[in-house]
Structure 1
Amino acid sequence: MNVRYRVELSQAERDELRMLLGGGKAAVRKVKRAQILLAADAGAGDEEIATNVGVGSSTVYRTKRRFVLGNVEAALSDEPRPGAERKLTGKEEALLVATACTKPPTGRSRWTLELLAGEIVKLTEHASLSRETVRRRLAENELKPWRQKMWCIPQVDGHYVARMEDVLDLYAEAPDPERPVVCFDESPTQLIGEVRQPIPAMPGQLERYDYEYRRNGTANLFVFLDAHRSWRRVKVTEQRTALDFAECMRELVDCHYPQAERIRVVLDNLSTHTPGALYETFPAPEAHRLLHRLEFHYTPKHASWLNMVEIEIGVLRSQCLDRRIGDRDRLVSEIAAWEQQRNAIGARIHWMFTTDRARSKLARAYPHPAKQS
């Protein structure tokens, strides 16, 4: 390692590496190599980089060498290794990928490695093909045809972008007690009771509970979350009607933020989440008074991920509701204890996705303005 390689990144290369680090999907090897390049570009020494990134000094040296002699892609990728000749040619691998992206055979819900291996044997001159060969080629192409993911595909148009940036701008504002930002949503939960009493854990033995359970109905959770301070409130109700929504808004105005001039509420597009719900519940002067203190900001359709309270509901479910709770009274007391603890320790959601990042990350999805003639 007598040659010292100096890393000097362009701004475009820095942006590419930072985007890779923030994407959350890159392989650990690539992430560490990206960290090495950014640290070297900032002027850090090899030993310092090796310690901070958690790799050996030889890894730092090889990564810098591959960048200087090649480019960013060469530095992030593995060097070719000697070994047996690949069993599938380029065309055969393309055929495998194309087959994996088609519908499975009649009578099967999805492709398996064995099915794909058999199909490629039929379509090529190979006498046999191992499932491991198929697995490796699919992994190289980031394909897992036996897995499926349900996804709600939004229509990203001007209306979607306008609502998204409106919500993101609210999150980016400095805290203002006169104009707080409160995220609101609801979530149903089942009341599941025990048929037989669980057996407590003891040394060498896990807690045991019976596979049978008793359904005791459902309850609804209205969840409020302040976007800029450590405060959340969960209200348990039997239903989630327009009347229940209106009562929640009155509590928000009169009980939780009585001194606020205007409360900005981030919420989704459920049919009951409308100003009209307040007029359907209260006399017109009362509804008008409440709405004068409220300002609704709706997330785009199919974009509930933009509502910060969705994250808090996930925390509530994992920390408090991931067990059997059989009656409403216990549900209320358990949630109240969780809520008090979360507020007391100053727990907050640290939102990182900004309008600028949305314009960068979702640039291709943004609508293109019509050119003026």
Structure 2
Amino acid sequence: MGRKSSTITLSFEDRAYLETQTKARTIQAQTVARARILLLKADGYSIEAIADKVDMNRKSVMLCINKFNEGGIENALFDAPGRGRNAEITDDEKAWIISIACQKPVDLGYSAEVWTRALLTKHINKFAEEAGNTRLSTISQSKVRTILEEADIKPNKIKYYCENRDPDFDQKMHNVLLVYKQLSLQFDENGELLPFGDDDQIIHVLSYDEKPGIQAIATTSDDLLPDDNHSTISRDYEYKRLGTISLLTGIDLQTGEAIPLVKESHNSNDYIEFLKLLDNKYPKEDKIRLVLDNLKVHSSVETRKYLATVPGRFEFVFTPKHGSWLNLVEGFFSKMTRQMLKGIRVKTKDELVERIYKYFEEANEEPVVYHWKYKLDEIDPNEEVQVETLPLEKSS
């Protein structure tokens, strides 16, 4: 009885690479033959059948397969140093591959912003001979991946960072941290707010920001609640956009109270309305200090005109440009997104507004006082906070 021939296993990428080798016109005939051997063996052909198809003796076929099993495709296709073609890719060739990977494909005439392994390999194959790296005209995707991994280059990924565009970044950050440091001294070791003295100038400190573009989205059919057959809520993929709203929020950093104002927009008039809300909330003899960003409406002509009507009432500490992470209200917005806004569906925009106000009511039932810790040990609390009472006009 005949015995079934053993096979070798090729990945999709390896098979594609070998098929490319069999069609190439610029490589040695023996390389083409060896590529055919591996493809035929992967398809289950016997040693005798392969030898007959590639017109080689049985020993040469077995040697090629053994070299594959020992060291992979490159080892099987190309002879080791001293025996004809060198299978090793030189450092100069690797450097050329890396130099291509470190460029954007769009800068080389492609539509893509970042490389895929297939596109990068295709480009290398196409231009290798022109660049004097003929050996690389048939390099495989797997080999390109190995070279990039060894160099710790990931041209298919984007890692975001924040460019420092504020020449006064360090000074402004220090000023914000000074506010937080002085706040930390207003709490006892149990985290309880210490009472103000009779002669103290009371300053209410708030972290303020806007969250614009919150979408009101409606479903086109009712959600299906979990039951015996479905472990999750089931929802139709289709939805309807009902418009957007903006949320203006201040977090009282001494009490943890979250103060909302929901509007259709977030222009100067909306911001002034929020300031008036604060003015009516706190005793008139107290100061209100806001930590906020450099959005233009915060120092617009309209805003400065309003502040001139309440001289000395408000103080402003501006975060550096691209320093919104210094603003503690961002943590509240993140928590709100996770707890309430994620996946929310409403029937009307008014319902979204009502549910946002409801969320604030729930949050204020057990308010959380936000504390800052990063780099506070480096801050001298006896310094004087630099504040603005009637901010000059700024660019956003």
Taking structure 2 as the reference length, the TM-score comes to: 0.59
User: Which 4+ residue blocks in structure 1 deviate beyond 6 angstroms?
Assistant: 83-86, 355-358
Look up the SS of the partner of 2:209 in the other structure. Answer: strand
Distance in 2 (CA, whole Å) between partners of 1:183 and 1:276 is 22
Q: Which residue type is aligned with residue 135 of structure 1?
A: R
Q: Between Structure 1 and Structure 2, whose CA radius of gyration is higher?
A: 2
- Aligned position for 1:202: 227
Q: Which residue type is aligned with residue 168 of structure 1?
A: L
Residues 130 and 248 of structure 1: is their aligned pair in 2 closer, same or farther, counting only changes over 3 Å? same
Structure 2 counterparts to residues 289-368 of structure 1, below 5 A: 290-322=310-342, 323-354=344-375
Q: Sequence identity, in percent? A: 30
Residues 139 and 356 of structure 1: is their aligned pair in 2 closer, same or farther, counting only changes over 3 Å? farther
Q: Which residue type is aligned with residue 103 of structure 1?
A: K
- Aligned position for 1:117: 121
CA displacement at 1:237 relative to structure 2: 1.3
Structure 1, unmatched stretches of 5+, are 1-82, 282-286, 359-373
Whether the 8 Å contact between 1:246 and 1:278 is mirrored in structure 2 is yes
Q: Which residue type is aligned with residue 280 of structure 2?
A: D
Structure 2 counterparts to residues 1-373 of structure 1, below 5 A: 88-104=89-105, 105-109=108-112, 110-121=114-125, 122=128, 124=133, 125-126=135-136, 128-148=138-158, 153-157=163-167, 159-175=168-184, 176=186, 178-188=202-212, 189-205=214-230, 206-255=232-281, 257-258=282-283, 261-274=286-299, 276-278=301-303, 280=305, 287-288=307-308, 290-322=310-342, 323-354=344-375
Q: Which residue type is aligned with residue 117 of structure 1?
A: T
Distance in 2 (CA, whole Å) between partners of 1:144 and 1:152 is 20
Q: Which residue type is aligned with residue 333 of structure 1?
A: E
Whether the 8 Å contact between 1:193 and 1:213 is mirrored in structure 2 is yes
Look up the SS of the partner of 2:296 in the other structure. Answer: coil
Distance in 1 (CA, whole Å) between partners of 2:300 and 2:315 is 10
Structure 2, unmatched stretches of 5+, are 1-70, 76-86, 187-195, 197-201, 380-396
Whether the 8 Å contact between 1:180 and 1:260 is mirrored in structure 2 is no
Distance in 2 (CA, whole Å) between partners of 1:195 and 1:126 is 54
Look up the SS of the partner of 2:317 in the other structure. Answer: strand
Whether the 8 Å contact between 2:226 and 2:233 is mirrored in structure 1 is yes
CA displacement at 1:320 relative to structure 2: 0.8
Whether the 8 Å contact between 2:180 and 2:371 is mirrored in structure 1 is no
Look up the SS of the partner of 1:201 in the other structure. Answer: coil
Look up the SS of the partner of 2:203 in the other structure. Answer: coil
